Structure 1
Amino acid sequence: MQRRYTGVTAAVAALGLTATLSGCGTDGGSGGVTLKLVAADYGTGAENSSKKYWDDLVTTFEKTHPGIKVDVTVHSWKDVDREVADMVKRDEAPDIAQIGAYADYAKAGKLYRANEMLAIRTESNFLPSLSEAGKVGSALYGLPFVASTRLLFYNKGLFAKAGIDAPQTWDDIGADAEKLKKSGVTYPFALPLGQEESQAETLMWLLSGGGGYTDDSGTYAIDSAANVETFQWLRDDLVGKGLTGPVAPGKLDRAKAFEAFTKGEVGMLNGHPTLMQDAEKKGVEVGMVPLPGPDGPTEGSMGVADWMMGFKQNGHRKEIGTFLDFAYEDTNVLAFADAYDLLPVTGSASARMEADRKQKKLHDFVAALPNSQLYPFGKTSWAQVSEAVKEKIGSAVEPGGNPETVLGNIASVAREAESAE
């Protein structure tokens, strides 16, 4: 991994000396332009709202680019995608949006391609796996903004009290959860399959069972035999044995599961870097391992990326590019990643994080990112499929639930949505 990043960084450094801009300027444009940027809030409250990051970034940018103003609005993750969609429907699209999906806007012809906005050195610096996930066809429209990977988290204190070690297989998870339950742990294994972000929890388990949302050719394979077997195991060996706590998985949202973990009420759950930070602040000693599979640790990991995009409506291509080139400088990328214990999306910033001993706690997550598997973001059908997963997947693990039927229903939604693309 280090060699890979070193190559990217060297290429970027070389390009930076001679790069010509692909349609964007660096002198602040012709003046008098105000860019409208809508962004998601990664904070948990006013004290750590993402608005502080954007305010600082914009203040610095405007000092060195007096011809461009940037007006930033920050919305919660529950609202931001809908807010942008409503703006687009009203023909009031922002110039820049930092949200969770881009494919619908790209296929509708509403977005600039990356090479219409960014300097070559900026576009070439994105991690290859993330660049691929940001494409529709062969063109990059979704610019990765921040990323994370997932690992299995466990409470070291509760594990020590129960006399158990970190799990490596599904059988280990079941055995450890039994002992945690006997020692009085409220949620031996928290399994959030409620509507908040169950599409992520689902993908982690599908990957651990050797499946996924799509097959190797990129075709939806949601009701594959491997996926059905995974959810049968969850239904029978975790939920059916009362090892997932007092709230039914289909009713448990990720935020509630994470909150319970920080309170010391959860033995195990799938987590991301921000949870590690929050738990340690509350005095929970966190252990982390790759998500176990049937026969051993899962080789791949689920990766998640959020996206930046530039809208064509206001015609501010040059100014958008100038701002984004600035936003993707290492210092700015790392500042946001540091604030929320997330991962940088560029090769040069990733290399700097890997070399920083102060960031050692994130090194396992950084190492997992290049080989991680992301949602099929480039499919316009994915938004509809994701909603179907959120709505239906919890019922697959209910007592008497039928994973084959539930996954088959979601697969039908996927096929219909994809045929309409």
Structure 2
Amino acid sequence: MQRRVTGLTAAVAALSMTALLAGCGGDSGDDGDVTLKLVAADYGDSPANSSKKYWSELTKKFEDEHPGIKVEVTVHSWTDVDREVKEMVKDGNAPDLAQIGAYADYAAQDKLYSADDLLSIPTQADFLAPLSKAGEVDRVQYGMPFAASTRLLFFNEKLFKSAGIKPPESWTQLQAAAQKLKARGVKIPYALPLGPEEAQAETLQWLLSGGGGYTDNVGSYDIDSKQNVQTFQWLKNELVGKGLTGPTPPAELDRAEAFAAFTRGDVGMLNGHPTLMQMAAKKGLKYGMVPMPGVNGKGQSTMGVADWMMAFKQNGHRKEIGEFLNFVYSKENVLDFSREYDLLPVTASASQEMTDNKEDSAKLGQFLKELPTSQLYPVGKTSWAQVSVQIKKYIGKTVDKNGDPEAILGQIESKAAAEESAQ
């Protein structure tokens, strides 16, 4: 219950507040302005569309509308940004905000504000449900989704047409299509990138299409489930074993090379995200996209991926951070970012706007349709970073000639359980 402050108590309170404010000049200017420091990842592929440009325009608009709050943004490449933030936090110099790839470790260390601390109810409620849930640790949201994407099965229209193939809707049809492509001399009928770059993504897409996933219904690791084992036995025997994944062993094939091979016309089918559309368009490659086939038909859900915004408590600027984030997540600003980088909006209002817009829908409509039912990595687990390393290191071995999917998935599950219990 709040007490009324009167008389001498009020005077003491006023003097205390004056002293407190006087001691907070470390990141405030002489005019009393608060300066928020944000470290962000670069989504651009050239100086013309660098994220520096996006943030410069956004922060200028914010500062014009919010006198007294300044925002300094430092942009790093994805190769460096997570490490830079980790070092800043370790050195006791955490930024006010970080827009990076993972948040759970910082939440577990009690270094982050929760979304409840920062966002208005309408802003927080506007996040798409699977993204909001993926941002939770112990049912409290600390990670605020900033960018999202899903996966679809891309196919080379020219190769499919020449082989008389329709887009597959089941694993059996995918295998049959791959066999026809191979018979016509296609170098890589289906590209299966299980190399160390991003094996955890291709793996999750296949696990979901087989009715499994990384976790069970209560969020516990279930990597060696019956469904998951059956999925990788099928991949080993029915795709890789029949020579339908090209000359490079899946354990040695990275996503970047698979994408590049697709744009060269060497690949018949592969899982891809919106960035592949840009790459194919630049090469003049005609392609189609369909939902990932499931074991007996269309899969129940696809894989979703999100990047995260988080706010550190160290500098104590909760109110100012909240004002900035409520501005960042306005429908207009979410749309501007999504359109600039061909990524999916993380809010329901912006997603609906893009769905209703003919130009947006023509480009990203199929990805947008998949996002509300997508499943993300278990990023709320602090153990996930190490589990992901294990998947990247070992999952490709499941489809080797002498690979044992059940044993290898069991090995990864055991390591995951050990990491989880160590947290």
Instruction: State TM-score, norm by structure 1.
Output: 0.90
SS at match of 2:195: coil
Q: Comparing 37-46 with 265-274, which one deviates more in the overlay?
A: 37-46
Aligned counterpart, 2:379: 377
Q: CA deviation at 1:276?
A: 1.7
Aligned mates of 1:337, 1:114 — CA distance in 2: 21
Alignment of 1:135-150 (within 5 A): 135-150=136-151
CA contact (8 A) 1:154 1:267 kept: yes
> Does the alignment pair 1:416 with 2:413?
no
Provide the aligned C-alpha RMSD in A.
1.7
Aligned counterpart, 1:74: 75
Instruction: Answer with 1 or 2: which has the greater Rg.
Output: 2
SS at match of 1:153: strand
Q: CA deviation at 1:327?
A: 0.8
Q: CA deviation at 1:167?
A: 0.9
Aligned counterpart, 1:289: 290
Q: CA deviation at 1:79?
A: 2.4
Residue deviations 1:273-315, cap 9 Å, x none? 2212321232112211111122111121111111100001111
Aligned counterpart, 2:300: 299
Aligned mates of 1:189, 1:318 — CA distance in 2: 51
Amino acid at match of 1:65: H
Q: CA deviation at 1:223?
A: 0.5
Counterparts in 2 of 1:57 and 1:301: CA distance versus 1, 3 Å: same
| Percent identity of equivalent pairs | 63
Aligned mates of 1:95, 1:329 — CA distance in 2: 20
Aligned counterpart, 2:42: 41
CA contact (8 A) 2:236 2:400 kept: yes
Aligned mates of 1:314, 1:184 — CA distance in 2: 61
Aligned mates of 2:47, 2:258 — CA distance in 1: 22
Aligned mates of 1:164, 1:153 — CA distance in 2: 14
Amino acid at match of 1:108: Q
Alignment of 1:261-280 (within 5 A): 261-280=262-281
CA contact (8 A) 1:31 1:66 kept: no
Aligned counterpart, 1:21: none
SS at match of 1:419: helix
Aligned mates of 1:253, 1:264 — CA distance in 2: 17
Aligned counterpart, 2:400: 398
Counterparts in 2 of 1:214 and 1:333: CA distance versus 1, 3 Å: same
CA contact (8 A) 2:224 2:406 kept: yes
Q: CA deviation at 1:214?
A: 0.6
Amino acid at match of 1:380: T
Aligned counterpart, 1:312: 313
Amino acid at match of 1:407: L
Aligned mates of 2:182, 2:310 — CA distance in 1: 46
Amino acid at match of 1:365: F
Aligned counterpart, 2:389: 387
Aligned counterpart, 2:206: 205
Q: CA deviation at 1:46?
A: 3.2
Q: Which sections of structure 2, spanning at least 5 residues, go unmatched? A: 1-27
Residue deviations 1:389-414, cap 9 Å, x none? 11111111122111112111110111
Aligned counterpart, 2:19: none
Counterparts in 2 of 1:242 and 1:48: CA distance versus 1, 3 Å: farther
Aligned mates of 2:376, 2:264 — CA distance in 1: 30
Aligned mates of 1:39, 1:405 — CA distance in 2: 40
Aligned counterpart, 1:162: 163
Amino acid at match of 2:410: G
CA contact (8 A) 2:208 2:300 kept: no
CA contact (8 A) 2:115 2:142 kept: yes
Residue deviations 1:179-227, cap 9 Å, x none? 2123232221111111121111100000111110011111110011111
Aligned mates of 2:159, 2:77 — CA distance in 1: 33
Amino acid at match of 1:388: Q
SS at match of 1:418: helix
Counterparts in 2 of 1:396 and 1:360: CA distance versus 1, 3 Å: same
Aligned counterpart, 1:366: 368
Aligned mates of 1:62, 1:264 — CA distance in 2: 48
Aligned counterpart, 2:322: 321
Q: Which sections of structure 1, spanning at least 5 residues, go unmatched? A: 1-27
Counterparts in 2 of 1:60 and 1:120: CA distance versus 1, 3 Å: same
Aligned positions, number: 394
